[in-house]
Amino acid sequence: MSLSEILQKGRVAVNCGILGVRISRKYIYTHKMSEKPAEHTASNGFESKTPFLIGVAGGTASGKSTVCQRIMEKLGQQHKEQTERRVVCISQDSFYRTLKPSERLRAERGQFNFDHPDAFDDKKLLSILKDILAGKKVEVPEYDYISNSISHRSHTIYPADVVLIEGILVFYFPEVRELFHMKLFVDTDSDTRLARRVPRDIMERGRDLEQVLNQYMNFVKPAFEEFCLPTKKFADVIIPRGADNFVAIDLIVQHISEYLKKNSSDKVQLQLSTLAPSVPSSPQRSGKGGRPH
């Protein structure tokens, strides 16, 4: 059964161990109304030809960016010119607010809470998402984890059919949350997330081991429990094990590709070269002896 068929079935909460699907009444309404998805009557108040906006939340290092990358790859979007992309991805990290001098010093010592909602400029995020939904071209800054600030570089996000926005707290701010047409939560075990965060922060974000572990224990873990985890209930689709969950990713890709196909009459044909379901080939995929997370 395809994801869209599941979506037509009514208010259900399914968790078959592979893919948890939670569908709200509002969401079903959106999709039942969208016989012609190109003109989806959005539950978010934006009507007709606005991009399909997908929020991807989950704890740090749960695999949010990797899941988004896989979706882009499977839809043949990853290597396209920015101007040609029909699916684009943005990170919530681009919307960290500018720190005051005293906060900057604390951040340098690993004593600033980047996992608290106050660390974000949610108004700016909201405003950019509204511009995207209005079909505008927007500039999204790149975030620099080494200087703990927005870098001088930015990316131009051209109008696209589908926009993915990933981040730890994308479902936290109600006004932002309400804009999404689809909400995904990447649900990866916390030991696995910590095991991935340590090398990533040391190799890519200029931290040392002590700093990473202190930050994790003092801020990341408690804030995850207080602010991020409770937003899982807003998700339409929960993806256990993140990017390892080929079945979930295939179902999501299938759903997006159906939307794109129906929306592509006046556009270049989408290259759906890799849409065939993934065949289990490793213990992790088949569930025999894979990592227990």
Ligand X SMILES: Nc1ccn([C@@H]2O[C@H](COP(=O)(O)O)[C@@H](O)[C@H]2O)c(=O)n1
Ligand Y SMILES: Nc1ncnc2c1ncn2[C@@H]1O[C@H](COP(=O)(O)OP(=O)(O)O)[C@@H](O)[C@H]1O
Between the CA of residue 183 and those of 22, 64, 225, what are the distances in Å?
10, 12, 19
Minimum distance of ligand X from residue 200's CB (angstroms):
8
Measured CA to CA, the distance from residue 224 to residue 64 in angstroms comes to 15
Retrieve residue 16's tokens: 């078959």
For tokens 């997006």, the residue is 256
21 to 60: interface string for ligand X, x by CB under 6 A: ---------------------------------------x
199 to 218: interface string for ligand Y, x by CB under 6 A: -x------------------
Q: Is 200 helix (H, G, I), strand (E, B) or coil?
A: helix
Site for ligand X in 148-177 (CB under 6 A): 148, 168
168, 197, 148: which is closest to 55 by C-alpha? 168
Measured CA to CA, the distance from residue 42 to residue 292 in angstroms comes to 38
Based on the shown chain and the rule CB under 6 A, indicate whether residue 169 belongs to the binding site for ligand Y: no
Q: Which does 244 bind (CB under 5 to 8 A by kind): ligand X, ligand Y, none?
A: ligand Y
Nearer to ligand Y, 50 or 65 (CB): 65
Based on the shown chain and the rule CB under 6 A, indicate whether residue 120 belongs to the binding site for ligand X: no
Helix H or strand E encompassing 142: strand 138-144
Q: Which of 242, 248, 263, 270 binds ligand Y (CB under 6 A)?
A: 242
Q: Which does 145 bind (CB under 5 to 8 A by kind): ligand Y, ligand X, none?
A: ligand X
Nearer to ligand X, 213 or 272 (CB): 213
Nearer to ligand X, 19 or 168 (CB): 168
55, 86, 61: which is closest to 196 by C-alpha? 61
Site for ligand Y in 182-201 (CB under 6 A): 196, 200
Total residues in contact with ligand X, by rule CB under 6 A = 11
β-pairing, 20-22 vs 162-166, is unpaired
Measured CA to CA, the distance from residue 164 to residue 183 in angstroms comes to 10
Based on the shown chain and the rule CB under 6 A, indicate whether residue 37 belongs to the binding site for ligand Y: no
Measured CA to CA, the distance from residue 66 to residue 69 in angstroms comes to 5
User: Contacts by 99-103 with C-beta closer than 8 Å and gap 24+?
Assistant: 99/148, 99/149
Measured CA to CA, the distance from residue 129 to residue 138 in angstroms comes to 9
Stretch touching ligand Y by CB under 6 A, among 61-69, 78-86, 124-132, 206-214: 61-69
Minimum distance of ligand X from residue 107's CB (angstroms):
6
Nearer to ligand X, 53 or 61 (CB): 61
Based on the shown chain and the rule CB under 6 A, indicate whether residue 257 belongs to the binding site for ligand Y: no
Which residues of this protein are in contact with ligand Y, per CB under 6 A? 58, 60-66, 196, 200, 242-244
